[in-house]
Chains A and B, each alone.
Chain A
């Protein structure tokens, strides 16, 4: 999980931007489209080397699609360690924290494993064939 910037007492040293996911997505962080919206919110903040808090208060439902399209893609584009160090996750249900770790692993794999990335791109570029 990302650490954020905190002093030895656990208090935040700088006023990080807070994104309350419930305000943007309601009780469900599930679709790839919403994941892309979160990516679009986060990417300019991180590129500006600012830190951000993701506050999941009030969010009840989660799907891997959402995390793949947001945090995994950010990790792929900006580097896993960089994203980890700039994002703090709060109030995420303990049963859903695995999504964050998996997203960072998938993002790192997309960034680092050229063969894997090539396979993904090849599949994406395939012409659609109706069943």
Chain B
């Protein structure tokens, strides 16, 4: 009888700063290299939506490949357990874990080939209302979230699609949303498809290029590009913040200025964090 050796992958504290994205990249690498990975959360006392979306995307990726992934359900610290129940991550492993939602927008996956109009209606009618987003803000918010989802589905090549998770903080009146794909990443996409513009640019510079109006790696023959530019405008008007980590680069778009740069480490795909006052 063949016995599979389980590999324990320790999940650290995961905020959504640069070094947290680096840590997420390391967790992904460990899981991908293991035949039978087991997520252990005993060292994790805090998780942000970006981490939940990333770990959920990893679970979905394994499922798409027909590979197992396990979770030590008893390893959750009480606060993290509550969050993971509310955002639906725990139920990916154990369906009977009750999901009292609070203000968490539960883990959601958008599969390749999804009809974007259906995605929009789901987000507007079923997802955002959980966080009690004011009705007058929903349509604009959904349109911009769909720019992110569509970008991920169109350009990432990720078999698991795009994963999302969110949290509303009623005391601060802030909505924090995260969208993750474990695909090729923006910098690699630009390098592969637009070597003429990539030249010797670093990953941050390639993400900056992707923000330019009319810049795209889409293979359509007509006018293209503008999705990230629209997202930047939305962030600016709403006085929010947009952060993208992809490959070895990042973009931070805030009211005052945009900042593009190189991060330590590497993220195998793209994480988009959106923070908007609501």
Which residues of B lie under 8 Å from residue A62 when comparing CB positions?
Answer: 143
Contact present for B226 and A28 (CB under 8 Å)? no
Stretch at the interface among A12-20, A42-50, A121-129: A121-129
A63 close to B116 (CB less than 8 A): yes
- Min Cβ gap A68→B in Å is 5
Chain B at the A interface: SS class: helix
Beta-carbon contacts under 8 Å, A80-131 to B: 93, 95-96, 98-99, 102-103, 105-107, 109-110, 116, 119-121, 123-124, 126, 128, 131
Which of B117, B121, B139, B226 has a CB less than 8 Å from the CB of A106?
B226
Chain A residues numbered 56-75 whose CB sits less than 8 Å from any CB in chain B: 60-65, 67-69, 72-73, 75
Cβ–Cβ contact A76 & B223, under 8 A: yes
For the complex, count residues of A whose C-beta is within 8 A of B. Answer: 40
**Complex-state Cα separation, A109 to B230, whole angstroms:** 17
Q: Which residue of B lies closest to A110 (CB)?
A: B223
A residues contacting B by CB (< 8 A) are 26-28, 30-32, 60-65, 67-69, 72-73, 75-76, 93, 95-96, 98-99, 102-103, 105-107, 109-110, 116, 119-121, 123-124, 126, 128, 131
**B binding-site residues for A, Cβ under 8 Å:** 115-117, 120-121, 124, 139-140, 142-143, 146-147, 150, 157, 184, 193-194, 196, 213-214, 217-227, 229-230, 233-234, 237
